[in-house]
Amino acid sequence: MIHFKNVSKIYPPHMVALENVNLIIKSKEFVSLVGSSGAGKSTLLRMLIGEEAPSMGEIIVGDVSINSLNHKEMPYMRRKIGTVFQDYKLLPTKTAYENIAFAMEVAGKDDSEIKEDVPQVLSLVGLEDKANQFPYQLSGGERQRVAIGRALVHRPDILVADEPTGNLDPVNTWEVVNLLLKLNELGATVILATHDNSIVNNLERRVVLMEKGKVVKDDAKGKYLI
Amino acid sequence: MKEKIITALNRVTKSGLNSFWRNKWVSTATISVMVITLGLITSLFLLSVVAGSILTDLEQKVDISVYFKLSTTESEIIKVKSELEKISDVKSVEYVSRAEALAKFETEHENNPLIIKSLEELGENPLEASLNIKAKLIDNYESIASFLESTRFSGMVDTVNYRQNQKVIEKLSSILGTVRNSGLIAILALGFVAVLVTFNTIRLKIYSMREEIGVMRLVGASNWYIRGPFIIEGVLHGLVASLVTTIIFYPILVLISPKIAAFLSGIDIAAYFRNNFFQIFFLQTLVGVFLGVISSLIAMRRYLKI
């Protein structure tokens, strides 16, 4: 379970990015976080992975308060949360295989485990034949699938996707969304931030609408109407 | 636990080697700058060795002599000698007896029949016995001269040649001091500039990788796991730069060494370099590795804060 408790974020001197956000996400839920650019979706997700700290309030994942973790404990938390970004954030000097393996290496997994899991993940995201390509040799959709592969190789309980389809064409968009759905079926909590209403309206899952740093609407089977 | 650390070390090393090879151009640029820095530092070092040996050579040419009156007996002079040897500023004292002084004088002037003839006519040895004194430091001569000029010795001592040479010795002493000090300052300043250039090159390299460092953090890598490959790369840069510097340096030294030897007799830098090869190479490598690793670590700090 993820619980945002009275979370506010103020960038000095007085830019309010989030204002008193309260949000509970149950485990194994698929939640779409929608709203226009600047509504605070990314800020909320960045706080969930500890990239930024809230000015006020608390974020609890399971039974751990994220903002009370110190710099050394943070990596362990992050290994439990898979993250996918709009700009992929792949390591440019590592191949697709190595990018995915890296996430397992930092967690101290055995070589034998890595050799077994990475090809599985690569075939799950449909890139078994691109394992040795570097990111610059891959298309946008392929890069994002590598990033998703990296996010799910830990079998994380939570998958955070911040505008994962923002740079993709419709065909690739649906491939990525279907992957997220598949992961959700396998038991991961998925939080998808997007401003693409065609995705949200076809999903028919929970939709949380944000505007100017506040949660303004929360529907169990929502639509995103602009 | 031990196995985990070994696995992590293995991975970090492999990743460092990989990144060293895959970022060939960045590695080449970093190593080139480092070669220039190490070359400069080594040249400055050798230069200071050369300058130092010139200065010591000059210093060793300075001595003072005390001449004893003809009436002084040898045992009295030997007593003065042993007293002088007890002074801590004195490096060595050499006794030149009257007979030795005469023999030396005669060999020096054997081509001058006039002098030899007048010596013969004189019938006896007119030369005084003397002590040649070398001090440890050029500044010590003043006090040694004063010691010999004290009233205790006034019955025996005829002249101390320090007074005649005083101006020259003082001048030389001040020149030597200035050269040593300004040389040291120049070496430190140039060395500092070179270090700064290398540091900035590495900083730029890390800056270009700041996003990757952030990504590693976000994927759940601990700080030491991220630093590891950069440390390995830094070590490699230092090592390769040191090797390249030596490979470039040695042939140049062999080429210019005879020219320097012709100009300043008795200094063979190529031989010095050969004899101290391991110390120089070790120091060079140490500076390179230290620069590579420390610069990376300092430059990375702020990008690891995520």
CATH topology classification for B62-173:
Alpha-Beta Plaits (3.30.70)
Q: How many helices (H) and strands (E) does chain B have?
A: 11, 4
CB contact (8 A) between residue A79 and residue B220: yes
Mean pLDDT of chain A: 88
pLDDT of residue A98: 93
Residue B287 C-alpha, separation from nearest chain A C-alpha, in angstroms: 28
Which of B11, B212, B223 comes nearest A105 by C-beta? Answer: B11
B215 near A CB under 8 A? yes
pLDDT of residue A226: 61
CB contact (8 A) between residue B218 and residue A51: yes
H/E run at residue A142: helix A140-152
CB contact (8 A) between residue B222 and residue A93: no
- For CA atoms B154, B157, B163, B169, the dihedral sign is negative
Q: Where are the domains of chain A?
A: 29-39+71-219
CATH topology classification for A29-39+71-219:
Rossmann fold (3.40.50)
- Please state, in angstroms and rounded to a whole number, the distance separating the CA atoms of residues A53 and B305: 12
pLDDT reading at A59 higher than 80: yes
- Please state, in angstroms and rounded to a whole number, the distance separating the CA atoms of residues B293 and B273: 27
User: CB–CB of B209/B256 below 8 Å?
Assistant: no
Neighboring chain B residues of A90 at a CB cutoff of 8 Å: 215
**What chain B residue is nearest to A103 in terms of C-alpha separation?**
B219
Beta carbon pairs, A and B, within 8 Å: 55
Cβ-in-10-Å burial (0-12, 13-18, 19+) of B283 comes to middle
**Considering chain A, what percentage of its residues have pLDDT values greater than 70?**
99
pLDDT, tens only, A90-104: 998 899 999 999 988
CB contact (8 A) between residue A78 and residue B218: yes
Residue of B5, B213, B219, B304 to mutate, testing the A interface (most A Cβ within 10 Å of its Cβ): B219
User: CB–CB of A208/A215 below 8 Å?
Assistant: yes
pLDDT, tens only, B194-218: 888 888 888 888 898 888 898 888 8
Residue B198 C-alpha, separation from nearest chain A C-alpha, in angstroms: 23
pLDDT, tens only, A124-161: 888 989 999 999 999 988 998 899 899 888 888 899 99
H/E run at residue B234: helix B223-263
Q: Where are the domains of chain B?
A: 2-58+180-304, 62-173
Which of B19, B212, B222 comes nearest A75 by C-beta? Answer: B222
Q: Report residue A118's pLDDT band, with 50, 70 and 90 as the boundaries.
A: very high
Residue type present at position A149: G
Structure tokens at B7: 């696995």
Q: Report residue A29's pLDDT band, with 50, 70 and 90 as the boundaries.
A: very high
Which of B23, B214, B220 comes nearest A103 by C-beta? Answer: B220
pLDDT, tens only, B224-257: 888 999 999 999 999 999 999 999 988 888 888 8
pLDDT of residue B266: 67
How far does CA A138 lie from the centroid of its chain?
21
SS3 B213: helix
Cβ-in-10-Å burial (0-12, 13-18, 19+) of B36 comes to middle
Running along chain B, 306 residues long, what does each successive block of 10 average in pLDDT? 82 87 88 89 82 76 82 83 82 84 83 81 81 82 81 78 75 80 84 86 87 87 88 91 91 84 74 85 90 89 83
Residue of B12, B215, B226, B302 to mutate, testing the A interface (most A Cβ within 10 Å of its Cβ): B215
User: CB–CB of A213/A17 below 8 Å?
Assistant: yes
**What chain B residue is nearest to A100 in terms of C-alpha separation?**
B219
Helices A140-152 and A96-106 meet at what angle, rounded to 10? 20
C-alpha angle A177-A75-B234 in degrees, rounded to nearest 5: 110
B208 near A CB under 8 A? no
User: CB–CB of A103/A153 below 8 Å?
Assistant: yes
pLDDT of residue B193: 85
Neighboring chain A residues of B223 at a CB cutoff of 8 Å: 71-72
**What chain A residue is nearest to B15 in terms of C-alpha separation?**
A94
Which of B218, B222, B305 comes nearest A83 by C-beta? Answer: B218
pLDDT reading at A225 higher than 80: no
pLDDT of residue B104: 84
A90 near B CB under 8 A? yes
Neighboring chain A residues of B7 at a CB cutoff of 8 Å: 108, 110-111
User: CB–CB of B110/B116 below 8 Å?
Assistant: yes
A101 near B CB under 8 A? no
Q: Report residue A110's pLDDT band, with 50, 70 and 90 as the boundaries.
A: confident
User: CB–CB of B289/B235 below 8 Å?
Assistant: yes
